[in-house]
């Protein structure tokens, strides 16, 4: 029986992780080791300044005080009985397409699995501002397409140092997968002034996302706009190989 380890960055109570665990339960022994509350925007952060701990809540379900990456590190060394055959993170309540991948706690956990040689997949739902997962749940046939994909990855693995960043559109029906590249994009207008009864000015992070390649047809956002589920293969090797020659000119 294969072992699937699941985490997220919305916390173990989130509807998305529960749907994902239900979808893949027939494939494997499933362990959920997830944060004890929201960790949106945690990226691949780790907890360095305090200890972390975890609490078993039910068979195969553990809540952790740390970040999504902490959850994976703790699970691998302290919780699961053997190396997982597959790591899943999500289903995130909100997309992690384009440059948002860099802030994503969902994808942080996926990088961690990938760096530990575990086939690893992050899954996120592209909600418009104000939309809630609970009102726009991932459809049953999409969940079943996800389970099929997981089954294939369990059988065939993924290339070394490569993990998957999957984003789903809100849709009643599964229209298909599209393998994409990450769209160029930019966040702007990122702060609103917070009301503060103590007087000090403070700011809430918010922001407007702009797809810088709205005409492209091969990006994750293009796939989402067309109603497809996007799959970006992501590498944990950050080297910009194409830039090495240019750089040689810069260096004395």
Residues 178-197 that bind a copy of itself (CB under 8 A): 179, 181-182, 184, 186-187, 189-191, 194, 196
Task: Decide: 208 and 247 in contact? Cβ < 8 Å.
Answer: no
Q: Does 86 help bind a copy of itself (rule: CB under 8 A)? A: no
Provide the 10 A C-beta neighbour count for residue 143: 20
| Closest alpha carbon to 233 in 169, 160, 175 | 160
Rounded CA separation 77/81 (Å) = 9
Q: Does 93 help bind a copy of itself (rule: CB under 8 A)? A: no
Three-state DSSP at 31 gives strand
Q: Which of 26, 135, 215, 238 is the binder for a copy of itself (CB under 8 A)? A: 238
Q: Does 226 help bind a copy of itself (rule: CB under 8 A)? A: no
DSSP assignment letter at 192: E
Pick the piece of the chain touching a copy of itself (CB under 8 A) from 25-33, 82-90, 130-138, 243-251. Answer: 243-251
Q: Does 81 help bind a copy of itself (rule: CB under 8 A)? A: no
Q: Which of 15, 154, 177, 225 is the binder for a copy of itself (CB under 8 A)? A: 177
Task: Decide: 133 and 115 in contact? Cβ < 8 Å.
Answer: no
Tokens of 245: 């020659």
**Which residues inside 24-63 make contact with a copy of itself, applying CB under 8 A?**
38, 40-49, 51-53
**Which residues inside 8-27 make contact with a copy of itself, applying CB under 8 A?**
none
**Which residues inside 127-156 make contact with a copy of itself, applying CB under 8 A?**
148-149, 152-153, 156
**CA 146 vs CA 113, 169, 174: distances in Å:** 18, 13, 10
Pick the piece of the chain touching a copy of itself (CB under 8 A) from 26-34, 85-93, 125-133, 233-241. Answer: 233-241
Task: Pick between residue 20 and residue 64 the one whose CB is nearest to a copy of itself.
Answer: 64
Q: Does 227 help bind a copy of itself (rule: CB under 8 A)? A: no
Q: Does 203 help bind a copy of itself (rule: CB under 8 A)? A: yes
Q: Does 230 help bind a copy of itself (rule: CB under 8 A)? A: no
Q: Does 82 help bind a copy of itself (rule: CB under 8 A)? A: no
DSSP assignment letter at 94: B
Tokens of 82: 């053997």
3-state SS of 113-162? HHHCCCCEEEEEEECCCCCCHHHCCCCHHHHHHHHHHHHHHHHHCCCCCE
Task: Decide: 222 and 216 in contact? Cβ < 8 Å.
Answer: yes
Q: Does 202 help bind a copy of itself (rule: CB under 8 A)? A: yes
Minimum gap (Å) between residue 200 Cβ and a copy of itself: 6
């Amino acid at each position: 029986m294969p072992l699937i380890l699941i985490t997220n960055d919305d916390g173990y109570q989130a509807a998305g992780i529960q749907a994902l665990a239900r979808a893949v339960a027939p494939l494997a022994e499933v362990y959920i080791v997830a944060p004890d509350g929201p960790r949106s925007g945690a990226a691949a952060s780790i907890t360095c300044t305090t200890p972390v701990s975890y609490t078993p809540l039910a068979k195969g379900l553990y809540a952790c005080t740390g970040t999504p990456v902490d959850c994976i590190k703790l699970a691998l060394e302290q919780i699961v009985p053997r190396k997982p055959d597959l790591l899943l993170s999500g289903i995130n309540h909100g997309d992690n397409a384009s440059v948002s991948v860099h802030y994503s706690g969902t994808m942080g956990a996926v990088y961690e699995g990938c760096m530990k040689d575990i086939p690893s997949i992050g899954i996120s739902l592209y909600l418009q501002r104000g939309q809630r997962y609970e009102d726009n749940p991932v459809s049953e046939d999409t969940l079943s397409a996800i389970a099929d994909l997981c089954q294939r990855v369990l059988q065939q693995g993924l290339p070394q140092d490569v993990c998957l960043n999957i984003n789903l559109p809100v849709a009643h029906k599964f229209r298909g997968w599209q393998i994409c590249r990450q769209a160029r994009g930019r966040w702007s207008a990122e702060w609103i002034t917070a009301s503060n009864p103590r007087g000090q000015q403070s700011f809430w992070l918010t922001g407007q996302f702009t797809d810088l390649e709205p005409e492209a047809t091969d990006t994750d956002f293009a796939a989402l706009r067309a109603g497809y589920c996007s799959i970006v293969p992501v590498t944990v090797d950050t080297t910009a190989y194409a830039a090495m020659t240019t750089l040689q000119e810069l260096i004395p």
